[in-house]
Amino acid sequence: MGIGATAGVAALGGFALSANASTETASRSADDSLVFDPEGYTQLTATVTDTDGTEHEVKYRFWKAITYVSKPVDEKYQSLNVSVPVEIDGKAVDVSNAPILFANTVGGYLPSTVTEATGVGASGLPVGGGGGAPAGGGTTSAGPAPSASSSAPGANENTNANGGALNTNQYLALGAGYVVVEPGARGRTLKDSSGEYYGTAPAVIVDLKAAVRYVRANKGRIPGNVDRIVSAGTSAGGAVSALLGASGDSKIYDKYLKEIGAADASDAIFATGAWCPITDLEHADGAYEWNWGTNKLKAGDQVDQTVSKALQAQFAEYQASLKLKGLNRFGLLTARNYDEYLVKQYLEPSATKYLTALPDSDRETYLAKNTFITWSGGKATFSWADFLTHVGARKKTVPAFDAFDLSAGENNEFGAGTTESRHFTAYSAKNDSTGLNSKRVASDIPEKLNLLNPMFHLERRNPGRSKHWWIRLGTNDTDTSHVVSANLAAAAKGLGDEVNHLYYWDQGHGANTDPGDFITWIAKVTGYKK
């Protein structure tokens, strides 16, 4: 089928959908609410275009909006969809041992719902935040699939991250014969009639863990190999995908899972796919300033350099405390050598791969426009300073995540009760500009930061973690720091895990230029053979 080919062009030409026949999902009593109904599907037909541009007819069974907890806070978000291929190009598909792609569509830590989906890949749009997300909820219907290089907005832009890595992965996974599970999850903007927020931290990860538990509890009933779950997500979705991988079976979530009636099963996953993860939030401001502190905003303004330098100093201290070693025997990663590490380990190889793939004339044109690159012996070299100039404007002001005026989406993620937004770092709380009485972070914040940070679990060598990691980032992504994903990769690699991490040259937030390779990687690490 060519599904595993590297995509040098758009991964998918289109995705068409039609209903053939259906059966209604059987009503379930409270006693068996967490038992998967094998007969409760609609049979659909999809046309999936693979990375070679070849169309394939896929007949699949579609289970819609299954509530995955017995005591849901909001079923609209605490439900999942399941898509199972039964026939590809007229040939029957045996999914008894197929890997399960667990594809969240979280963006901006906003709520995502699958309840109005019409088929695979048409679910999960973050809602309630405006800026491109449907007001009041809703999802897209199946339509043209996104380009492999389409970009997604940033975590604190209140918009969805439903481009790039998300639907592309789901369509190709279905076409490769994998089972696709799409979970919804609560998000930061949800509040009840009394004005209390019920989707802020740690709701998103608790819900996704509960969804994994539902799938694993239904081993033998739900199609596919529940011991071979591979998560995928972009931006904030990439963060919680990485968190699922790092925190498998961690006890610190148990009380939250019990509250919503999660299944009594493991929530560990086998492998993790994370695109441009917006994570490690308590250190994200410092990492961002270390990376982009000298870059001006799009309007040409320079951010407050006193604040920027203070945050950079915090990052240096944090990075030193991690005692992480870089890949390929680089040695300890510090604020002083991280620029060299990024250039040698990720940036120059990314540029080299990009330029090598270009026709000679196009390469010459590109190099003529980008004279900071030295092209010799089929390899690209350049300095960190020139790279920063090449990228240009930074996307976010300072601080990037814990805003002094509480305006960032991440501030809302740590809201509680009827308080919409709160500080989650001591530095921003001390420099609050909204007139708060207290200049300290609330007492519950440290626990919530741990619940939301994959690095917390990797630093503690969590035995239930995923042992396989696929991590991607665009080199022009200024939604977060390049250090965030590189630290994640270094931490996992330091524990002996298999890590596949690279950057896409000249791509922005949410890019996914090698979707076929991800599908092939899933088969490789899970040991799946058709």
- pTM for this structure? 0.89
Tell me: the pLDDT tens digits for 376-427? Answer: 999 999 999 999 999 999 999 999 999 999 999 999 999 999 999 999 999 9
- The CATH number of 36-121+155-280+453-529 is which of 3.40.50.1820, 3.90.79.10, 3.30.300.20, 3.30.565.10? 3.40.50.1820
CA–CA distance, 291 with 287 (Å, rounded to integer): 6
What is the arithmetic mean of pLDDT over 358-363? 98
Q: pLDDT digits over 53-73, tens only?
A: 999 999 999 999 999 999 999
> What ranges do the domains of the chain cover?
36-121+155-280+453-529, 348-393
Predicted confidence (pLDDT) per residue in 306-346, tens digit: 999 999 999 999 999 999 999 999 999 999 999 999 999 99
Identify the pLDDT of residue 131.
26
User: Residues 428, 433, 437, CA angle at the centre, nearest 5°?
Assistant: 85
pLDDT at 24 over 50: no
Q: Is the pLDDT of residue 365 over 70?
A: yes
Burial class (CB in 10 A: 0-12, 13-18, 19+), 313: middle
Q: What is the pLDDT of residue 33?
A: 86
Query: What residues contact 359, with CB distance under 8 A and at least 6 apart?
Result: none
Q: Which residue in this structure is represented by tokens 């407050």?
A: 304
- Give the span between the Cα atoms of 481 and 266, in whole angstroms: 32
- Using 50, 70 and 90 to split pLDDT, how confident is the model at 166? low
pLDDT tens digits, 185-244: 999 999 999 999 999 999 999 999 999 999 999 999 999 999 999 999 999 999 999 999
- Please, what is the average pLDDT of the chain? 88
